[in-house]
Amino acid sequence: MRLFRSICAVIGSICAAILLFLPGSRLAGQTAARPYSVRGPRATPEMVLRMERTRAILVEGWKITPAEAVQLEEKLAKDSEDLALRLRLMSYYVQQVMHEKHAAHVVWLIQNHPDAEAFWDASIITRMPVTDGDGKASANESRVQALWKEQANRLPSNAKVLRNAAYAVAVTEPALALQYVKAARQAEPGNAEWITWLAKTYADAIRWTYWDERSMMAFTGDTADYRHLPVRLPLPMCQSVRKEVETSTDAALIGAVGDMLIREARLLAREGNPATDVEQAARFGEALAERARALRAMAAGR
């Protein structure tokens, strides 16, 4: 049963087919509930491969017995760089709810391979629970968060480390996660995935500025928009983001955000979504797209 739930979680996190935050859900740093649903696009071949790789690791971990886990730990002690073996053990510990043993491997991986693809590719195995049952951050989670901040500060030009750090702190410290995404873009200005991640985060934030504080919000986008799940920002930050794009001269970002808002409105309209906020956000997106074109024209005329 635990394995089935784990696989379902992987499918949900990677594909984002229907991700629903019920009215009782709360985002970091907020007191008001913000109900919303995400209607993600169909899984790409890349997404399917990621899902299959993670499923395979979950299956391998499920098959491990307690006696085998001891033997595998002894083997890993002789070759600490056997990452495949380490992931198998982490899978076992996650599914057996052995938090301390799992945390020890997460810490080792952050300390020694903070740029590992597994932090993004198989996050269900490499991430830590955000809170304990009483809602307070666990000691392990606090340590992991601190380690990620150290690694991001130590390797400020490594986009993969920044990506992994952003995922790690996105729920508890969305402002810091956004900072890491921006830093990843600076580290790799030619990599479109960073500006897309940033633009989707901004577009969603702008949509929230039109929320009536009662209705269920619906978000969507195309496949590229969900390569990285957008950072959910607190409402005050949503307002700040909107003001930022209204005054920014970053044509690439402004244009990407505008296009994303326009595209999302078109996709939601096909589903018959009549929400007023969608129309308002689309008009705002059109204004941003026009402003981006003007900024590019000015730059070209210099």
Paired residues of 39 in beta bridges: 220
Residue 109 pLDDT? 97
DSSP-assigned states of every residue in 249-264? --HHHHHHHHHHHHHH
| Segment holding 220, helix H or strand E | strand 217-220
* pLDDT value, residue 131: 52
DSSP 234: -
| Residue 1, CB-side half-sphere exposure with 13 Å CA sphere | 0
Given CA atoms 249, 251, 252, 254 in this order, what sign does their dihedral have? positive
pLDDT under 50: residue ranges of the chain: 1-29, 31, 132, 134-137
The confidence score (pLDDT) of residue 2 equals: 47
Encoded tokens for 302: 């210099």
For tokens 């009782």, the residue is 24
State pTM to two decimals. 0.86
Which two three-digit tokens encode residue 49?
């491969």
- Name residues whose C-beta falls within 8 Å of residue 280's C-beta, 6 or more positions apart in sequence: 210
Q: How confident is the model at residue 181, as a pLDDT?
A: 98
User: 120 CB contacts (<8 Å, ≥6 apart)?
Assistant: 163, 164, 167
The residues spanned by each domain of the chain are 1-24+43-127, 190-302
Give the model confidence (pLDDT) of 1-39 as tens digits. 444 444 444 444 434 333 333 333 444 445 458 899 988
Q: What gap in Å lies between CA 97 and CA 38, rounded to an integer?
A: 29
If you search the block for the tokens 């689309």, which residue do you land on? 282
Q: State the DSSP code for 227.
A: S
User: What are the tens digits of pLDDT across the range 119-161?
Assistant: 988 888 998 865 545 444 478 888 999 999 999 999 999 999 9
